[in-house]
Structure 1
């Protein structure tokens, strides 16, 4: 039997619309159109919030922001999001008249064969009618009315939590920006740094980057790291570890010793356990890179001839992840003029439902594709544009590009 899925979609008793990743209506079933009071021609092909703008009675348009945040979270997290939301709707029979409405909303991703999100299922069920049950003389549907009251309270709690999270996120990002300024010039060497915060979550402010001019000859240390926590706490820990690694790099014999000392320091910092970091000492006079990694994704060396090398020969557990500290490994590789070194955090390559090897392959492919770019700034922008989707990702991302 051949199933006519288009007919099944239209016959579904639940109200379901299909949105593109740009939040444009691709289709809507009959139940959804009846509930919304719109025809198919009034919605299909239109941007969601053009077809259903926010109520002008809400100057902050919070209902639009909250529904959009739910949809953006689905696009970023690649998983289902459910919520109870207030979203007032303009009456189709009385233009200019806005009716208070409450909806139970479920947003879910639909994946294409290549693993990208092709559509978002937007299922809604109006629950406003439950409120009217309290006024019935016979007291019927009282249980449903009480349930709605509870749901409305939950909605108000969610609103307060969203506002609190938004405030903490703003403060944490401000602190992050203060502690991660663009480094000053380091001699004649060219480099670029990028930081992209996570979207739709508090999972921000744990990543850092740093470049330090070493005291012995024409050498610099380049490092990135990632604290496990998030928000203000992660920003504070990040600042401590970044400063400690900068200072240690100035006196360490090499990157392995710098990470070994940093691990001992992390043992004394609450919340620093399992932090990952990688640092590279670049000796421009000898054309050598010496590197060591504490559980971090490997640096990448883009050769002048367009080939790519993963620097993965000196990897050890994250900071303070083992009971007994021990000397960390380090490895050395040669480079030639025109090569480029990239260090980054896992937000650049790790995605839900995707193996990390796939992310590394996408990174190397992007570097090969953009090998003709001649400046670190241009290459950094190209890599970020290729690997970070327009809707953002759920982990923050740091990237350092150094011309060799």
Structure 2
């Protein structure tokens, strides 16, 4: 609705200047605007429902062309990462639909952008293509075929150089991702028994790019029949976030051993975080579990609330002691703390926001999904329950943010 009038977005799409098409996750045409059908020389009937490279196969006799491979790689990166991908200039010749075996030379400049569904997954790809063949020919002037060939060769060479540079950047990012994940694995504690209680831990890196290594979990044995369980999330990603994560996790673990409760532990961590560059706005939730008193005492610094799952499948979000993230206040202020009773056989679940949050969606929707999944699988052992949660909430394709998860049977 604009100024009281309904907007016909289908009409707007078809009137868009320039070539724009919509593809699904399998790279099948869903729609194409008028300029796309006109300039590509294909009707909507020849496009809709067909795989992009069945409609536009690569010229068979041109062994050195890479247009189809580069375009496919770009589209698949968008599906995997959920982020826009701008391609360098690419030569991609098109077969004349009325004269099989006759090909027309084309130079394209494509941009591929994701359309996300309510769950944050890519459901469509906007495939916008700028046709610049005529521009190249106009620059050369009429009849100047030799100059045209030189210009085309130069443009193609520059395009290949840019593509090679992009490929080198992707290789560098992949290498840094592997290093960051190795550092993450070295810093996080291995799964282990917590006294006689069963616990499961999981870490799932983000899909694509270097969006990993800001999340952590920790379990600390305390005197008596007690443990502390915590999860945290550093703002940012990559090697820097992994290093900050390691410092904060170690600091909280040490503070937990001497603090009188979770609030005091977070207060000490907040003071320490002021001396760590990049630690500001980190979110943390920490809990102290006492089996003698059958209580879970908790405190949260801007983090999604832990969940207490009863044996009967009821869920209770521990959200009565929530405060801003680390470094959010200019001065030190005591943090809140709350406690809740539990019965034997209950389950405590702590997690980071990658498990529940999706772009463009209210957090309550994600919390509702989490509660539903916990209720459905309430009788599962911790290891199985952790797997069920990841399968239900992340799905097969993972997520665009990393996820840490701790499940402990009380």
Aligned-pair CA distance for 1:185? 2.0
What does the per-residue CA deviation read over 1:137-193, in whole Å, with 9 as the maximum and x for residues that have no partner?
A: 677999xx7996898476565444433333322221221122225322222211221
Q: Indicate conservation of the 8 Å contact 2:115/2:126, yes or no.
A: yes
What residue is the counterpart of 1:16 in the other structure?
Answer: 20
Match of 1:186 among 172, 175, 194: 194
Aligned pair in 2 of structure 1 residues 259, 7: CA closer, same or farther (>3 Å)?
A: closer
Q: Given that residues 130 and 148 in structure 1 are in contact (C-alpha distance below 8 angstroms), is that contact kept between their aligned partners in structure 2?
A: no
Aligned mates of 1:70, 1:390 — CA distance in 2: 16
Q: Aligned runs of 1:16-165 on 2, under 5 Å?
A: 16-28=20-32, 32=36, 44-45=48-49, 64-73=72-81, 76=82, 81=84, 83-85=86-88, 89=92, 92=95, 102-109=108-115, 118-128=123-133, 130-133=135-138, 135-136=140-141, 152=159, 158-165=166-173
Deviation at 1:395, TM superposition (A): 1.9
Contact 1:183 1:211 in 2 (8 A): no
Which sections of structure 1, spanning at least 5 residues, go unmatched?
Answer: none
Partners of 1:245 and 1:53 in 2: CA distance: 57
Displacement, 1:229? Answer: 2.2
1:383 aligns with 2:389: yes
SS of the aligned residue for 1:235 comes to helix
Are the aligned partners of 1:254 and 1:281 in contact in 2 as well (CA < 8 Å)? yes
Cα separation, 2, equivalents of 1:38 and 1:238: 53
Change (3 A) 1:177 1:14: same
Instruction: Quote the Cα distance in structure 2 between the aligned partners of 1:53 and 1:256.
Output: 62
CA spacing shift, 1:221–1:388, aligned 2, 3 Å: same
Task: Confirm whether residue 238 of structure 1 aligns to residue 242 of structure 2.
Answer: no
CA distance in 1, matches of 2:216, 2:120: 29
CA RMSD of the aligned region, Å? 4.1
Q: Alignment length, in residue pairs?
A: 394
**Change over 3 Å in CA distance of 1:340–1:111 after alignment to 2:** closer
2:304 aligns with 297
- Secondary structure at 1:386's aligned position in 2? helix
Structure-2 change in CA distance of 1:109 and 1:375 (3 Å): same
Of 388, 400, 404, 1:398 maps to: 404
Deviation at 1:220, TM superposition (A): 1.3
Shift of the 84–366 alpha-carbon distance from structure 1 to 2, 3 Å rule, reads same
CA distance in structure 2 between the aligned counterparts of 1:48 and 1:29, rounded to whole angstroms: 15
Q: TM-score, normalised by structure 1?
A: 0.81
Name the residue aligned to 1:264: 271
Structure 2: gaps (5+ residues): 1-5
Instruction: Say if 1:213 and 1:219, in contact at 8 Å, map to a contact too.
Output: yes
Q: d(CA) in 1 for partners of 2:353 and 2:258?
A: 28
Contact 1:54 1:63 in 2 (8 A): no
Deviations 1:278-314 (A, max 9, x none): 1111112321111111111110111111111110111
Give distance in 1, aligned partners of 2:323 and 2:13.
Answer: 52
Report the Cα distance in structure 2 between the residues aligned to 1:158 and 1:265, rounded to whole angstroms.
39
